[in-house]
Amino acid sequence: MHSFTTILCLAFGLLALVAASPTNMIQKRGAYKVERIRNPNAVPRNGPRALLKTLRKYRMPVPASLLNIAEKQEELISKREPRRRKGMGNGIRVGGFRASAAGGRGHGRGRGKGQGNAGAGGALPKANTNGTGLVVNVPEANDVEYISPVSIGGQVVHLDFDTGSSDLWVFNTQLSPAATEGHTLYDPLSSATFKLIQNAQFQIQYGDGSGAEGIVGTDVVNIGGAQVKAQAVELATGVTQSFVDDIATDGLLGLAFSAINTVQPQPQKTFFDNVKSSLAEPLFTADLRAGANGAYEFGHIDTTKFTGDLTFVDIDSSQGFWQFTSDTFAVDGGKAQTSVAGNQAIADTGTTLLLADPAVAEAYYAQVDGAQNDQQQGGFTIPCAAKLPDLQLAVGDAMATVKGADLSFAPVDATGETCFGGLQAGQSGGLQVYGDIFFKSNFVVFNGGNNTLGFAEHV
């Protein structure tokens, strides 16, 4: 098989789009907001599949009962943490950076969601000068994932913002038509500001077997007015079928720490790491809503989105995540209990469910009439009509509340009488993953200036 280097040299020798490693060319300080907008292509939620993907994302043991039921279901549910691996299994793969067969500037862009350079029909965002930026986020597939518009080289694509990974990769015109139907495509050949990073490659395979691989360049990336002029953009030249089928999303934008970026031979900085020095404040916020549009905002904290005061706790970024201690909990404001001393958790917008220590899940569902750890469903189920208690979870040395109304995920039967719980049990003493269930109850601040995480109850 031809090496990526050979293919890249042939293609870009003709196109003269060669560049050295990127430098961070960034706008003036300010704040920027990215609103999240509701996606019309929603499909029914799938609790067992969501739990399976969460367990696999963080390499946790998978019960045989859960695997059996999930294998019968085909929905794409949540994002996964990447790992490096050669080959993408039985997915669609296309090697190298190519022009169209006719020698033109690539094949058609934006099938199914516009032409790629205007996105949802609005004007292209301009770089703000006040150090702020905001984009809407849309709950896709009934809150399974949230997507937001991002401008790359003046072309708008729709990405899933994931605080549990650190790569920005996109569907683009270097993929075959079979892999891109229904996706908005980024076309590097139509961007006057795209530059290839010589010899750079990325290979991502997620825990559930899905993945992408390809080449890397830089371009101007604008998120609601927050702009980086030479942001690393990973162009997929091969993707697996699950990503092909998920037409609501045109790629991922990682917002964890740059240390776990998968580009080789030189890992690249995330958008946030590149832009934060230009922001009015070196932070971004996640405002995720149950069944409604929310927003991501860079450089500014919107105090109208939460009640009370924000509580900030230190995080441990040594593993590349927004990680903190979470070893105590309470049910409905009752007596605080300890799960496992020193238990760790991460805040992950790319995961659907709330995965906690078994002691937390067992104590919580013991207070819910009709709840059971259902082996046929692969996790805890509850009566859909049950009035659920709130759950308090330690975040550092403080306690955050997850509302009971946010802890019922989705029906598991045709009658709609039994639902999959939004709280599920992970491995005792293992990493806990506080996904979108947690965020729907809490406004969360990711402060990269002092490595802290802030939270307060949503309005």
- Residues designated as active site: 162, 348
408-411: strand order across its sheet = 372-374, 379-383, 418-421, 408-411
- Tokens 């405002």 belong to 287
| C-alpha 121, offset from chain centre | 24
SS3 state at 143 = coil
Euclidean distance between CA atoms 344 and 327, whole angstroms: 7
**Overall size of the chain counted in residues:** 459
List C-alpha distances in Å: 128 to 28, 30, 337.
8, 7, 47
User: Can you read off the two tokens belonging to residue 43?
Assistant: 């499909």
Q: Give the Cβ contact number of residue 366 at 10 Å.
A: 9
CB-based contact 34:55 (threshold 8 Å):
no
CB-based contact 149:136 (threshold 8 Å):
yes
- Written as one letter, the residue type at 59 is R
Q: Give the Cβ contact number of residue 89 at 10 Å.
A: 12
Euclidean distance between CA atoms 171 and 178, whole angstroms: 12
